[in-house]
């Protein structure tokens, strides 16, 4: 069975500071990994995905994530936070023949002015 753990239900950073959202996964097979973002009153939007190509994945809005198999991690980073990054972020995994995505509990990113 697959699982995803996101450390911290809320993360607060200052505008212009580094954003780091943590995600660890458990999967019995090489996984596909995703980060989604949800802005208020909107659906989930794909930020980036890892599909066994480059381990450093670049996404939209300046976000990137690095797949580290030895640490079973897929942490999301952005060098400089912007007020518009305030949203809820979800890490998800797909693999092992399962049709649906397995999500973490989500992390609210709060940007302090």
CB atoms within 10 A of CB 13: 19
Residues with Cβ within 8 Å of 112's Cβ and at least 6 positions away in sequence, in order, are: 12, 13, 14, 15
Q: Which of residues 84-103 bind another protein (CB under 8 A)?
A: 90, 92, 94, 98-103
The distance of closest approach from Cβ of residue 104 to another protein in the complex, given in angstroms and rounded to an integer, is 6
For the segment 45-74, give every residue that binds another protein (CB under 8 A): 45-46, 49, 51
In angstroms, rounded to a whole number, what is the distance separating the alpha carbons of residues 51 and 4?
16
Q: Which is nearer to another protein, 44 or 86 (CB)?
A: 44
Residues near another protein (CB under 8 A):
4, 32, 36, 41-46, 49, 51, 90, 92, 94, 98-106
């Amino acid at each position: 069975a697959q699982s995803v753990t996101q450390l911290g239900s809320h993360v607060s950073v200052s505008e212009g500071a580094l954003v780091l959202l943590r995600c660890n996964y458990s999967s019995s097979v090489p996984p596909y990994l995703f980060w989604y973002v949800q802005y208020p009153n909107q659906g989930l939007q794909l930020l980036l995905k890892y599909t066994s190509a480059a381990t450093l994945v670049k996404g939209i809005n300046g976000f990137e994530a690095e797949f580290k198999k030895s640490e079973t991690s897929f942490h999301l980073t952005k060098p400089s936070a912007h007020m518009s990054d305030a949203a809820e972020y979800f890490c998800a995994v797909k693999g092992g023949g399962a049709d649906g995505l397995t999500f973490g509990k989500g992390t609210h990113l709060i940007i302090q002015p």
